[in-house]
Structure 1
Amino acid sequence: MGQWLSWIKSNEKELLKILDDLAKKAVETSEAVVVLFEDLSNVEQAKKIHELETEADVLTRDIFSELNKTFITPLDREDMQRIASKIDDVIDFMDGIAARVYSYKITTPPPYTMEMAHELVKATKEVEYMISKLQRIKNPKDMIEHCRNTSDIEHAVDDLYREAIRELFETNDAIKIIKLKDIYETMETASDRCVDVADVIEDIVLKYT
């Protein structure tokens, strides 16, 4: 019986470890997006981002398969699934940014993209911090504060997005508008998904503390 219980405990740790790795992968991808905008001629960078996205997909599948095998989970199964799929979404959209920049042959960073990319790094770091604390929520107030930080970052990205779109529509260049609007929207959605993760974490904090 003791052995069985210790197996459950180690399995709980394994689930949170994979979730942790996935959050780290989100930070790595957001930092890679910043590097991409620093030098858009570097084709290898878009490939690197896509590789990170593929690695994140594997981690997400691992979480779902572990959850299917595990009788007792450290947190609600649905909450863990939601966190994993939303972090995976963040990384998918960041891969989408790189894919669009490459497909549309963007050679200079469009206005506001660098600022938005830096905000995405901040947002993914907030997510990584919160995930790292899920194993033992010692300070619920601290967790809620980081959920709020993620929301503040998202508001900053929204402001940048609105400003970017406003200036873009002043250009009257239809092709440019279509391409850049798509990139801006993808960046904004990536930031929205970070808030989705924070919302699930806030629910968990309120439930378990």
Structure 2
Amino acid sequence: MRIRDLILPEDKVFLTLFKEMAQAIAEGADVLNEITHELPLGIEKSHRVRQIEHQGDEITRRIYEQLNESLITPLEPEEISRLAPVMDDVLDRIDRVTHQLCNYGIAESNDTLREFSYLIKLSIDEICHAIDSLSTLKRPEDVRTHADEINRIYNLSIELQARAVLELFKTNDLLLIIKLKDIYEGFGRVMEKCNDVGHALNDIAMSHA
């Protein structure tokens, strides 16, 4: 047990805020998944993702505000400062790719779009579970298990993106190739940010083992 734990109780507000952020990210991913299954319908749902992204910005602001005011934190301040922005980045990227998907006027969905959104949901489910496990850190290995799974899913997304781009260039519609390649790269950036969260969680778990 750390000495500071013997002096002051841990401030649980940070873990509450991280859970709120994880829930917001999960909701954004759910809406994105719905859109990829409903194209060309469902475009109006992109406004909901933008609202969720603004909620995420507010949660991040509250985390930093609380960090400046708290005498003691359940994690090291630098751990909180690292985790908060990478989680916010995930939601930012979900918002960006959602609007790409809707603004580019994609006439219909395809297996790649649906599979990407599914992998995003899987990755964010692991983030949510890891944040729940972070609440006590009595079993830091649980956090690491979820972080490892996030990395595994990220590697699957890299393979998916490579296959998808190869398939794109077999078509003759140059404009569609440009649009979908950009969207696939946008999905890839969401997965990169999820993986960044996984790295941050893994490092936190290791430091508290």
Q: Decide: shared fold, TM above 0.5.
A: yes
Task: Decide whether the 8 Å contact of 1:110 with 1:180 is kept in 2.
Answer: no
In the alignment, the residues of structure 1 paired with residue 23 and residue 116 of structure 2 have an alpha-carbon distance, to the nearest angstrom, of 19
What's the secondary structure of 1:112's corresponding residue?
Answer: helix
Task: Decide whether the 8 Å contact of 1:29 with 1:49 is kept in 2.
Answer: yes
Opposite residue 15 of structure 1, the aligned amino acid is: F
Could you say which residue in structure 1 is the equivalent of 2:152? 152
Superposition deviation, residue 152 in structure 1:
0.8
Structure 2 matches for 1:84-163, cutoff 5 A?
84-163=84-163
Structure 1: runs of 5+ lacking an equivalent? none
Cα 1:76–1:44 shift into 2, 3 Å: same
Opposite residue 66 of structure 2, the aligned amino acid is: E
Task: Decide whether the 8 Å contact of 1:34 with 1:117 is kept in 2.
Answer: yes
Under a length normalisation based on structure 1, what TM-score does the superposition of the two structures give? 0.91
Could you say which residue in structure 2 is the equivalent of 1:200? 200
In the alignment, the residues of structure 1 paired with residue 68 and residue 188 of structure 2 have an alpha-carbon distance, to the nearest angstrom, of 32
Give per-residue Cα distances to partners, 1:13-66, cap 9 Å, x unaligned.
Answer: 111101110011111111111111111212321111111111111111111111
Superposition deviation, residue 111 in structure 1:
4.0
In the alignment, the residues of structure 2 paired with residue 200 and residue 110 of structure 1 have an alpha-carbon distance, to the nearest angstrom, of 33
Structure 2: runs of 5+ lacking an equivalent? none
Superposition deviation, residue 207 in structure 1:
0.8
In the alignment, the residues of structure 1 paired with residue 109 and residue 81 of structure 2 have an alpha-carbon distance, to the nearest angstrom, of 35
Give per-residue Cα distances to partners, 1:102-132, cap 9 Å, x unaligned.
Answer: 2111121144010110110010010011111
In the alignment, the residues of structure 2 paired with residue 208 and residue 33 of structure 1 have an alpha-carbon distance, to the nearest angstrom, of 34
In the alignment, the residues of structure 2 paired with residue 139 and residue 14 of structure 1 have an alpha-carbon distance, to the nearest angstrom, of 20
Could you say which residue in structure 1 is the equivalent of 2:69? 69
Task: Decide whether the 8 Å contact of 2:34 with 2:42 is kept in 1.
Answer: no
Task: Decide whether the 8 Å contact of 1:46 with 1:102 is kept in 2.
Answer: yes
In the alignment, the residues of structure 1 paired with residue 71 and residue 112 of structure 2 have an alpha-carbon distance, to the nearest angstrom, of 47
In the alignment, the residues of structure 2 paired with residue 60 and residue 53 of structure 1 have an alpha-carbon distance, to the nearest angstrom, of 11
Give per-residue Cα distances to partners, 1:55-101, cap 9 Å, x unaligned.
Answer: 11111111111111222221121211221111111111111111111
Could you say which residue in structure 2 is the equivalent of 1:43? 43
Query: Superposition RMSD on alpha carbons, in Å?
Result: 1.6
Task: Decide whether the 8 Å contact of 2:79 with 2:204 is kept in 1.
Answer: yes
Task: Decide whether the 8 Å contact of 1:119 with 1:157 is kept in 2.
Answer: yes
What's the secondary structure of 2:12's corresponding residue?
Answer: helix
In the alignment, the residues of structure 2 paired with residue 39 and residue 190 of structure 1 have an alpha-carbon distance, to the nearest angstrom, of 20
**2:174 is the counterpart of 1:186:** no
Opposite residue 21 of structure 1, the aligned amino acid is: E
Runs of 4+ in 1 over 3 A off after TM superposition: none
Superposition deviation, residue 162 in structure 1:
0.7
Superposition deviation, residue 176 in structure 1:
1.6
